[in-house]
């Protein structure tokens, strides 16, 4: 009986919370008390059990999150890339990276170097920019300026300038950068207020929520969601995996 209860204790400890509640209903009060005793004795003799259990639960949670993310990306496949999205790299590239970013996000700025290096030596990448201004009004201002600059054929040119400028984005700063780069400032300032540009930003926010993105930067490469600023080696690995899937 003790051996049976020990097996039940292990089953109870490894179950998910909602499964655990269901399992508890299957035990008599005496069995539940014995299970608790066995678990306490085991933990007292070997505390590493709890570390292993926590590690296993975290790994299981990660796998579930990855599966949910892949499913969300597959479901959003038709809306993930829009014809109006700004494009960098090679527009005919065999691998597409979708980058959700905020112009003021320090981690997005950190990612810039690795992404620049990747595009410099891999000419088969199409980079889709998704402006996701989540850090307040100044971020919204920067994103609107970029999408307005796109109408003058200079999205990446102004993006590079804003991403290198201090993160306290203001309209005066945008104006100075735009004039230095040769933009038609009155036109750009007018276009920034177009309802269509706000609608595009709203659509990006909605899409990010569907994909479970809760911060920037976030990359979608080959059906995988990669959150945070990653190093060049990780980008290269993800791109290689995406290429392998196509074969």
What confidence tens digit (pLDDT) does each residue in 153-202 have? 999 999 999 999 999 999 999 999 999 999 999 999 999 999 999 999 99
How do residues 114-150 score in pLDDT, each as one tens digit?
Answer: 999 999 999 999 999 999 999 999 999 999 999 999 9
Give the model's confidence band at 4: pLDDT under 50 very low, under 70 low, under 90 confident, else very high. Answer: very low
> Could you report the per-residue pLDDT of 228-239, keeping only the tens digit for each?
999 999 999 999
Give the pLDDT mean for 28-35. 78
Greater confidence, 211 or 36? 211
pLDDT at 33: 80
Is the per-residue pLDDT at 207 higher than 60?
Answer: yes
CA dist 120 to 18, 40, 178, 202, Å? 49, 57, 25, 31
Q: Around Cβ 140, how many Cβ atoms within 10 Å? A: 20
What is the model's pLDDT at position 67?
Answer: 60
Q: How confident is the model at residue 62 (pLDDT cuts 50, 70, 90)?
A: low
Residue 1 scores a pLDDT above 80: no
Percent share of the chain, pLDDT over 70: 78
Q: What is the pLDDT of residue 12?
A: 47
CB 187 within 8 A of CB 153: no
Per residue in 96-123, pLDDT (tens digit) is 999 999 999 999 999 999 999 999 999 9
| Upper half-sphere CA count for residue 1 (Cβ side, 13 Å) | 3
Taken in order of first residue, the domains within the chain and their CATH numbers are 2-75 (no CATH), 83-246 (3.40.30.10)
Q: Which residues contact 187 (CB under 8 A, 6 or more apart)?
A: 151, 152
The reported pLDDT for the residue numbered 23 is: 47
pLDDT of residue 223: 86
Q: What is the pTM of this model?
A: 0.74
Q: Pairing between strand 87-89 and 218-221?
A: unpaired
pLDDT of residue 87: 97
CA dihedral 202, 88, 108, 203 (to 10 degrees): 10
């Amino acid at each position: 009986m003790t051996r049976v209860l020990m097996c039940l204790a292990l089953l109870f400890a490894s179950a998910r919370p909602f499964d655990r509640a269901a399992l508890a209903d299957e035990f008599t009060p005496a069995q539940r008390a014995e299970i608790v005793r066995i678990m306490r004795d085991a933990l007292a003799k070997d505390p590493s059990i709890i570390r292993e259990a926590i590690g296993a639960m975290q790994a299981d949670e990660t796998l579930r999150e990855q599966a949910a993310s892949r499913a969300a990306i597959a479901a959003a496949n038709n809306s993930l890339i829009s014809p109006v999205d700004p494009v960098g790299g090679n527009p005919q590239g065999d691998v597409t990276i979708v980058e959700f970013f905020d112009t003021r996000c320090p981690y997005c700025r950190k990612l810039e170097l690795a992404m620049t290096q990747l595009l410099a030596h891999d000419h088969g990448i199409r980079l889709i920019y998704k402006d996701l201004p989540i850090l307040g009004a100044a971020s919204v201002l920067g994103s609107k300026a970029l999408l307005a600059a796109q109408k003058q054929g200079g999205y990446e040119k102004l993006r590079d300038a804003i991403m290198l400028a201090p993160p306290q984005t203001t309209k005066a700063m945008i104006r100075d950068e735009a004039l230095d780069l040769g933009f038609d400032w009155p036109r750009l300032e007018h276009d920034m207020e177009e309802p269509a540009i706000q609608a595009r930003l709203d659509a990006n926010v909605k899409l990010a929520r569907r994909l479970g993105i809760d911060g920037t930067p976030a990359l979608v490469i080959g059906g995988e969601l990669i959150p945070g600023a990653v190093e060049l080696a990780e980008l290269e690995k993800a791109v290689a995996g995406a290429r392998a899937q196509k074969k």
